[in-house]
Structure 1
Amino acid sequence: MKIARRGLPKGWIGTWLFALAAVTSAAQAAVLPGALVTPPWLHDHAKQVQIVDIRDSLGSLTNDPKYATVNGHKVLEEVGGHIPDALSVNFWGLRQKHVIDGKKIDFMLPTAKEFEQTMQAVQLEPGKPIVIVPTGDDATSLQEAAFFAWELQVFGVPQEQIAILNGGMHAWTSAGYDVDTDAIAPMSSSKWKARAPNPALLATTAEVQAAQRAHGLLLDARPLAQIAGLERTPVVPAAGRLAGASPLPAELFYRNADDGSWRFISAHVYRKVLAGGGVQRVAPGIVYCNTGQYAAGAWFVIDRIMGRKGLREYPGGMNEWEQRGLPVVSF
């Protein structure tokens, strides 16, 4: 039996479903209040988002939090456990080894397929807002969360669907919310799909070289001692910086809160801090570090918190640059 559709335009069902999907997607994106969320907000909206824990030591997911007594008060010293029902991402799984000029180079940006497989393995759902939860025990954990946020955007997740819990698990635990120490063990994979990398967020080696020749904005987001060539990490063969780069020191981006958690600060404070640190221009341009996470922290502050668009990250950083045999300079 055929059902009459008198008076309805041809293709109305497809049009209606498309419109419904658009409204649903917009409603989901509107769940997040911005680039950062607080523990009370996440506690009240936990069922509306995907809570994704990220850390570089997965063993601590099943540990109890560690406390110390300071002036007669119990103070959180080290994060343990995770937020109930959280997914888990291993930070070290966000970079891969790639062969460049016949040489294997570690800590490189994954391909879309590699990233897709990682996200499917942790059961990330397509289209649902994501709140990334670092440990918050140190500034490095915030950079790791920012790197994950950047990769999600690179591979197609809209920025409106991504936020970071400011202060991470440290702030969550200090606020007295529930902590789960059961193992996070996904039993299946999701259907999450990655898109081709977004060139508006990425800079290649050739583009960095072009920026050097054109005297474009090139920002070094490492700690000041590394920018100055006084220190280096074991990953990077030689100390120094890229010719033409301006300092954007990592020390300017994070603060230690009263509860002991490390946090991002507000956009208007960042404007004052950067001006006070002698940083005049932040975008458009290219930001780099050693292997990507310092640069991602700077990108997250400038792009997501301050809303200044046009900053691309050179993810291979000094690691890729020097492995390619390209020159660096020191002060």
Structure 2
Amino acid sequence: MKTLVIPMFSLAATLLSGTAFAAKPVPPLVSPGWIATHSCKPGVVTLDVRNPIGGGNEQTYLRGHIPCAVYSDYAQNGLWRQDIGGAPGMVPPISELRTLIGGLGIDNRTHVVIYTAGTSATDMASAARVFWTFKYLGDNNVSILNGGYAAYIARGRTPLYPVQTGLVKPIPKTFKTHVKPRLLATEAEVERAMRSHVPLVDNRPSSQYLGVNLAPVDKRRGTIPGAHNVPESWLTINDGGVFRTPAELTKFYKVAGVPIAGTEINFCNTAQWAALGWFASYELLGNKKAKLYTGSMSQWSRNPALPIEKQIN
């Protein structure tokens, strides 16, 4: 594997350049070739959020990462997600997110490209949750690396692209938020949607949707009454790190009985798999009325006044 070492003064000059790369329209997905060309360019911050679920952590980052990428621990409670009332997938206070993102060297002109290990749909879902967070905060200059780090290094073959070892220390910037509440569904909104038959999409594995298995964070088996099931593993090719095409997703949504347009609320247990479902709907299928229920089943199942539907008792 090729190793690229970038002096810190060089990185600082790159980050401080007055040229903002994000002047062009930002695609939701970028390829390994694209990030290999652009990761160290002015106005771009490549964000490594590999975590234990995806087979990586900070030590993995130090051993090798995309050149100029900065690291953020997605798995650490309270950074990108916060446990509130027993629901671990809730949105942290906006002021804390503002500080977190600015501390990563990101401002509102920065094109952020997020990547994970790229080992599974679950792993890609963590990138989707961070992506959703940026969108929720009003920042549209954000993309996901399709295929993740596995695609970038072409695991199992001679790597096509260089990697960098060690720590890249970002230069803090000021990140301003312009929250878009329409991207977030509250528990009360989900209850109203359930009663008015607005499409609810459960992005958990079918065993949890049907009520066969209970996730550790949930209190009751089953799903929200009337919800449709689009398992997270359907959204990437062979449950890997590469997203399905819009044409494939359209077919799968049809099988699941989910419209590809109109109000839609995605949920799972902690709004990670659901973020993957939201990304597929909102970005890949272009449904700008898709929302994310961050409380998901970990919150819903704790409220005895809310109904649960089980197909298997």
TM range (shorter): 0.7 to 0.9
Q: Which amino acid aligns with 1:173?
A: I
- TM-score with structure 1 length normalisation? 0.78
Name the CA distance, whole Å, in 1 between partners of 2:89 and 2:273. Answer: 13
What secondary structure sits across from 2:182 in the alignment?
coil
The amino acid across from 1:177 in the alignment is Y
Counterpart for residue 199 of structure 1: 181
- Residue pair 1:291, 1:319 contacting (<8 A) in 2 also: yes
Residue pairs, 1:1-331, within 5 angstroms = 28-30=22-24, 32=26, 34-46=27-39, 47-48=41-42, 49-56=44-51, 57-63=57-63, 81-92=64-75, 93-98=79-84, 103=85, 105-158=87-140, 161-174=141-154, 175-186=159-170, 189-195=172-178, 197-256=179-238, 262-275=241-254, 277-282=255-260, 283-325=262-304, 326-331=306-311
Contact 2:86 2:299 in 1 (8 A): no
Cα distance in 1 for partners of 2:193, 2:258 equals 18
How far residue 278 of structure 1 moved from its aligned partner, in angstroms, is 3.3
Q: Residues 180-227 of structure 1, C-alpha deviation per residue, up to 9 Å, x if partnerless?
A: 2213444x53211223x3122011111111111212211111111111
Contact 2:199 2:258 in 1 (8 A): no
Take 1:225 and 1:86, find their aligned partners in 2: how far apart are those partners? 37
**How well do the aligned residues superpose, as a CA RMSD in angstroms?**
2.1
TM-score, normalised to structure 2, is: 0.82
Find the aligned partners of 1:31 and 1:246 in 2 and give their Cα distance: 33
SS of the residue aligned with 2:299?
helix
- Whether the 8 Å contact between 2:214 and 2:221 is mirrored in structure 1 is yes
Distance (whole Å) between structure 2 residues aligned to residue 244 and residue 256 of structure 1: 27
Which residue of 2 is the match for residue 66 of structure 1?
Answer: none
Over 3 Å counting, the alpha-carbon distance change for 1:224 and 1:320 in structure 2 is same
Q: Secondary structure at the match of 1:271?
A: helix
Would the aligned equivalents of 1:31 and 1:129 in 2 still touch at CA under 8 Å? no
The one-letter amino acid paired with 2:274 is: A
Question: AA paired with 2:143?
Answer: A
Distance change in 2, residues 1:184/1:44 (3 Å): closer
Residue aligned with 2:124, SS = helix
CA contact (8 A) 1:248 1:279 kept: no
Aligned to 1:73: none
Change beyond 3 A, Cα 1:29–1:218: farther
Q: Distance in 2 between matches of 1:44 and 1:136?
A: 19
Separation in 1 of the partners of 2:215 and 2:165?
33
Q: What is the SS of the residue equivalent to 1:60?
A: helix
**1:88 Cα deviation after fit:** 1.5
Counterpart in 1 of 2:4? none
2:15 aligned residue: none
Asked whether the equivalents of residues 202 and 209 of structure 2 are also in contact (C-alpha less than 8 Å), the reply is yes
Counterpart Cα distance in 1 of 2:235 and 2:89: 23
Q: SS at 1:183's partner residue?
A: coil
SS of 1:117's partner is helix
Counterpart of 1:20? none
Return the offset for 1:327. 3.0
C-alpha distance in 2, partners of 1:207/1:254?
29
Q: Which secondary structure does the structure 1 equivalent of 2:180 belong to?
A: coil
**Partner of 2:250: helix, strand, or coil?**
helix
Q: Which runs of 4+ in 1 moved over 4 A?
A: none
Deviation at 1:256, TM superposition (A): 4.2
One-letter code of the match for 1:170?
A
Counterpart contact for 2:66–2:163, Cα < 8 Å: yes
Q: Give aligned pairs, total.
A: 277
Question: 3-state DSSP class of the match of 2:114?
Answer: strand
Q: Provide Cα deviations, 1:2-47, integer angstroms capped at 9, x if missing partner.
A: xxxxxxxxxxxxxxxxxxxxxx87x724153x21111111222231
